[in-house]
């Protein structure tokens, strides 16, 4: 296979994201730390440097608001007016640095503890069986439409108290939260995503305020009223941030994992036969799916000061 020069490849182009293996190998072999002239992004692809960067939060930040509000972002007419109708975005959980990140992890520990998640097992099993039964009855399926999309979205919607009647809206809101951080946005797409995000914020803000007044026995109420030693409960904006990250986790990463997992099974029938003959292999099969094809293409960081990694400034 003839390789293109690195400086002619856009790592965020749809064809590269769809099958990044050749590009990733080229990066590791030719430029483990690479400044892409097309995107103005630095790509780090070797294990040791990735680990060092991930551990150095003082120099490499998770706080994406640093670029969301940066002067380098193009101004889209009408975008700011739409966003002002909603709530201010704040960094929590995956988009916060220590010590603030530890606060959110502490507050969200109970809602996502092993015991809390275990209570959801009956619903998860029933939902999975319902979707699979429909596939069996039809005799064929589009895997994405029949399972990979509805399974995680309905699961996250359930734990957040979203009724089935609002499921279509829930999926749109989830897609809008993902789009806000995606490459290749169009002005029209950004405006549409912004309006959906504001709609999502007001929908859940009402639920958050209601559960602060009258707590209920669900995960959303646990998030809203979470407390820890020396920590006050999260405000509405912080709760919205945590919920939006749940939406992304439910819609984007889990859906992608289901999709790629099925693709791996369909293209490796010998492995399917092994698992059918010995179901005890299923847990390891799941781990291998995640290892072979991670649902997250990149882990982003923002460099807060001038630095040098592997000889690259």
Least confident of 104-113, 150-159, 218-227: 104-113
Percentage of the residues of the chain whose pLDDT score is greater than 90 = 51
How many structural domains compose the chain? 1
User: What is the pTM (predicted TM-score) of this model?
Assistant: 0.82
| Cβ-contact 225, 119 below 8 angstroms | no
- Is residue 50 in some structural domain? no
Q: Residues 264-288: what's their mean pLDDT?
A: 96
Output the domain CATH number for residue 234: 1.10.630.10
- Is residue 254 in some structural domain? yes
Counted residue by residue, the chain has a size of: 313
- Is residue 46 in some structural domain? no
Q: Which residue has the tokens 């405006």?
A: 191
Residue-averaged pLDDT of the chain: 88
Distance CA(146)–CA(255), nearest Å, equals 11
- For residue 41, pLDDT over 60 is answered with yes
What is the pLDDT at residue 184?
67
- Is residue 127 in some structural domain? yes
| Angle at alpha carbon of residue 24, lines to 92 and 10, rounded to 5° | 80
What is the pLDDT at residue 117?
82
Phi, psi for 297 (deg, rounded to 5)? -70, -35
Distance CA(283)–CA(227), nearest Å, equals 34
Distance CA(25)–CA(284), nearest Å, equals 25
What is the pLDDT at residue 71?
39
Task: Show the domain range for 128.
Answer: 75-298
Instruction: Please write the tens of the pLDDT for every residue from 243-261.
Output: 988 887 767 888 989 999 9
Distance CA(305)–CA(159), nearest Å, equals 40
- Is residue 96 in some structural domain? yes
């Amino acid at each position: 296979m003839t390789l293109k020069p690195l400086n002619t490849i856009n790592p965020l182009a749809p064809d590269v994201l769809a099958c990044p293996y050749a590009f990733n190998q080229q990066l590791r072999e030719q430029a483990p730390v690479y400044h892409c002239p097309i995107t103005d992004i630095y790509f780090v692809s070797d294990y040791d440097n990735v680990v060092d960067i991930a551990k150095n939060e003082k120099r490499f930040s998770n706080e994406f608001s640093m670029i969301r509000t940066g002067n380098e972002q193009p101004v889209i007419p009408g975008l700011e007016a739409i966003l002002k109708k909603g709530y201010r975005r704040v960094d929590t959980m995956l988009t916060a640095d220590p010590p603030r990140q530890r606060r959110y992890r502490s507050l969200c520990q109970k809602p996502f503890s092993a015991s809390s998640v275990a209570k959801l097992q009956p619903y998860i099993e029933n939902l999975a069986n319902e979707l699979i039964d429909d596939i069996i009855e039809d005799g064929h399926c589009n895997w994405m439409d029949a399972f990979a999309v509805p399974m995680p979205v309905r699961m996250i919607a359930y734990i957040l108290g979203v009724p089935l009647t609002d499921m279509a809206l829930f999926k749109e809101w989830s897609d809008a939260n993902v789009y806000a951080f995606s490459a290749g946005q169009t002005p029209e797409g950004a405006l549409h995503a912004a309006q959906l995000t504001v709609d999502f914020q007001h929908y859940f803000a009402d639920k958050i305020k209601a559960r602060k007044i009258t707590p209920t026995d669900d995960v959303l109420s646990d998030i809203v009223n979470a407390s820890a030693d020396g920590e006050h409960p999260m405000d509405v904006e912080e709760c919205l941030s945590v919920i939006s990250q749940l939406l992304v986790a439910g819609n984007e990463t889990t859906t992608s994992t289901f999709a790629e997992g099925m693709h791996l099974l369909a293209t490796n029938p010998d492995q399917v036969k092994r698992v059918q003959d010995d179901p005890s292999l299923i847990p390891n099969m799941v781990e291998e799916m995640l290892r072979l094809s991670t649902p997250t293409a990149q882990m982003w960081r923002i460099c807060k000061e001038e630095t040098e990694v592997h000889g690259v400034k």
